[in-house]
Amino acid sequence: YAKENLPKELIQAARLDRASEIRIFIQLSIPILRPALATVFLLNLVTNWNNFYLPLLMFNDAKLFPLSVGLGTSYGGPGLIMGAFVAMAPILVAFLFLQRFWLKNITAGSGV
């Protein structure tokens, strides 16, 4: 993906400036890949944060259950809504932090 979106003239100019392949990759390809890396990071975070069955099978003690298992096995009560908010808060913070990578890439070609 990054190789196709990178102009060949830019790679040749970097090689003329004696840039190594690693430096070309880090300084030219990584900025192009940032939105994709942010997406992969967020999807992986959501998948692991909301994992239900693996902790349920691995832990025998209810004190060791993560929040997702505790919320899934509880039957209401005053702490259920607060627990759901606490479970959602890290995902929302991560989304708000990573959103700038997507917006920068979306508006890059629009002239805004």
Q: Answer whether 0.75 is exceeded by the pTM.
A: no
The identity of residue 57, as a single letter, is L
Q: 3-state DSSP call for residue 52? A: coil
Query: Domain extents for the chain?
Result: 34-106
Give residue-wise pLDDT tens across range 59-84: 888 888 888 887 877 777 777 888 88
Give residue-wise pLDDT tens across range 2-46: 667 778 888 888 899 998 989 988 888 888 788 888 888 999 988
Q: Which residue has the higher pLDDT, 35 or 1?
A: 35
Cα separation, 81 vs 76, whole angstroms: 8
Q: Which two tokens stand for residue 27?
A: 């300084």
Minimum mean pLDDT range among 7-11, 68-72, 97-101, 105-109 = 105-109
